[in-house]
Amino acid sequence: MFNYLRKRFTSHIRERSRRRARLVSKDGRCNIEFGNVEQSRFVFLIDIWTTILDLRWRYKMTIFISAFLGSWFLFGLLWYVVAYIHKDLPEFNPSINHTPCVENINGLTSAFLFSLETQVTIGYGFRCVTEQCATAIFLLIFQSILGVIINSFMCGAILAKISRSKNRAKTITFSKNAVISKRGGKLCLLIRVANLRKSLLIGSHIYGKLLKTTITPEGETIILDQVNIEFLVDAGNENLFFISPLTIYHIIDRNSPFFHMAAETILQQDFELVVFLDGTVEATSATCQVRTSYIPEEVLWGYRFAPIVSKTKEGKYRVDFQNFSKTVAVETPHCAFCLYNEKEAKTKEKKGYDNPGFVLSEVSETSDTKM
């Protein structure tokens, strides 16, 4: 039992040590941090709108509640100060003919309630400002204006957070693995992508970036060097009719960074393939971007995706997402170089070649016979 647990623990440690660092997670989040930033963190307050939108919901709701409660309590204190200075409180024993700045403010609690009624424009009618002092009138105007600003900003931030196109991106899914197999007589890298909603993405565009570490001829090491990867779709790369799952593919030709990789060596490679899908949400006209990544362990050589779309007896098209990431092994060349060499050899066999140095000489026939 002890030996079994030790083997399991050792294999787990080895598996964790073999895990590759990813810049982009499978759900599209970027795994990067900034260190030794010279600028102060207060620069984020300059773009306060974006800062508020990027906050998590728990922090956003904390700011939302604190902004309203804080402003109500602050102006409640100011109303209490006004009543205290004008000696409107019962503890000063005002005369019968005394006209207060704000009627029916008897303490801090009533001042807080009047502040709340003023800022949210409830106006119960029990407490109101009189014409006695200009300070109360100015404070009423200032709180009303500031309350509208706080209400517009915070409610707008909540609405923008809810309707943000980032949530729409969660209904776009990519296959768990990428596969490499022949497609149309060419060796291709294929990825499946699906839209889980019936509403379309307008003007969708798919492209990829290959991230790897390269060494320049000058000896400079570049980490996360980006190489463009062109993906194609049979229906066209622009304005995709994205109502059913699509299979995008990259042709592994001589200009492809995958050309010199083989089935036996792809797991030894150090790269990360990041796939992007940009589009405009049909319902809100907001742009969104979906992204995912694949490391060498997630690229299956010699496989293709299982069929996913079928037609029912009622004439409807059915998409079975149970087979969305399912793959089937197929016969595939173990490298792109071998496939192209095989094609060139077959092409040369079918062609004939003229030898310009060959001269046909005619032989004259004679009827004389020597005895």
CATH number (domain holding residue 61): 1.10.287.70
Look at residues 114, 136, 163 and tell me which one is the last residue of a structural domain: 163
The domain tally of the chain equals 2
Residue 138 has pLDDT above 90, yes or no: yes
Q: Nearest 5°: CA angle at 275, between 269 and 280?
A: 175
Provide the CA 234 distance to its chain's centre, in angstroms.
24
Report the pLDDT value the prediction gives residue 371, as an integer from 0 to 100: 43
Q: Nearest 5°: CA angle at 353, between 350 and 354?
A: 150
Contact 282, 242 (CB under 8 A): no
Report the pLDDT value the prediction gives residue 235, as an integer from 0 to 100: 61
Pull the structure tokens for residue 32.
Answer: 């990067």
**Which of 6-20, 47-61, 159-173, 198-212 shows the lowest per-residue confidence on average (mean pLDDT)?**
6-20
Q: Residue range 117-143: average pLDDT?
A: 89
Tell me whether residue 355 is in a domain.
Answer: no
Tell me whether residue 267 is in a domain.
Answer: yes
Q: Dihedrals φ, ψ of 130, to 5°? A: -100, 180
Least Cα distance to 21 among 247, 217, 297, 263 occurs for: 297
Q: Are residues 198 and 231 in the same domain?
A: yes
Q: Are residues 176 and 156 in the same domain?
A: no
**Which of 122-136, 183-197, 346-360 shows the lowest per-residue confidence on average (mean pLDDT)?**
346-360
Residue 370 has pLDDT above 50, yes or no: no
For the four alpha carbons of 280, 293, 223 and 249, in that order, the dihedral sign comes to: negative
Residue 164 has pLDDT above 80, yes or no: no
Q: Average pLDDT of the chain?
A: 82
Report the pLDDT value the prediction gives residue 316, as an integer from 0 to 100: 82
Tell me whether residue 26 is in a domain.
Answer: no
Q: Which residues pair with 318 in a beta bridge?
A: 310
Q: Are residues 191 and 252 in the same domain?
A: yes
Q: Are residues 102 and 158 in the same domain?
A: yes
Q: Are residues 191 and 337 in the same domain?
A: yes
Q: Are residues 243 and 123 in the same domain?
A: no
Tell me whether residue 31 is in a domain.
Answer: no
Tell me whether residue 83 is in a domain.
Answer: yes
- Strands (E) across 23-97 are located at none
Alpha carbon distance 359, 96 (integer Å): 136
Report the pLDDT value the prediction gives residue 236, as an integer from 0 to 100: 60
Tell me whether residue 367 is in a domain.
Answer: no
Helix axes of 134-162 and 108-119: crossing angle, nearest 10 degrees: 60
Tell me whether residue 223 is in a domain.
Answer: yes
Q: Are residues 207 and 109 in the same domain?
A: no
Look at residues 115, 139, 163 and tell me which one is the last residue of a structural domain: 163
Alpha carbon distance 175, 256 (integer Å): 22
Residue 268: which CATH number?
Answer: 2.60.40.1400
Alpha carbon distance 200, 246 (integer Å): 13
For the chain, counts of helices (H) and of strands (E): 7, 13
SS3 category, 74: helix
Q: Which residues pair with 188 in a beta bridge?
A: 181, 251
Which range of residues forms the domain containing residue 43?
39-163
Q: Are residues 173 and 140 in the same domain?
A: no
Residue 55 has pLDDT above 80, yes or no: yes
Least Cα distance to 21 among 30, 10, 12 occurs for: 30
- From the CB of residue 262, how many other CB atoms can be counted at a distance below 10 Å? 16
Q: Are residues 159 and 173 in the same domain?
A: no
Q: Are residues 253 and 295 in the same domain?
A: yes
Q: Are residues 175 and 301 in the same domain?
A: yes
Tell me whether residue 9 is in a domain.
Answer: no
For the four alpha carbons of 90, 92, 95 and 99, in that order, the dihedral sign comes to: negative
Report the pLDDT value the prediction gives residue 175, as an integer from 0 to 100: 92
> What pLDDT band is residue 18 in, cutting at 50, 70 and 90?
very low
For 254-312, the pLDDT digits (tens) are: 889 998 888 888 988 889 999 998 888 877 777 888 899 999 999 999 999 998 888 88
Q: Dihedrals φ, ψ of 251, to 5°? A: -75, 125
Single pTM value for the model: 0.68
Report the pLDDT value the prediction gives residue 19, as an integer from 0 to 100: 53
Look at residues 108, 130, 163 and tell me which one is the last residue of a structural domain: 163
CB within 8 Å of 326: residues ≥ 6 apart: 305, 306
Report the pLDDT value the prediction gives residue 185, as an integer from 0 to 100: 85
Q: Are residues 137 and 206 in the same domain?
A: no
Q: Name, of 80-84, 162-166, 233-237, 358-362, the range with top average pLDDT.
A: 80-84
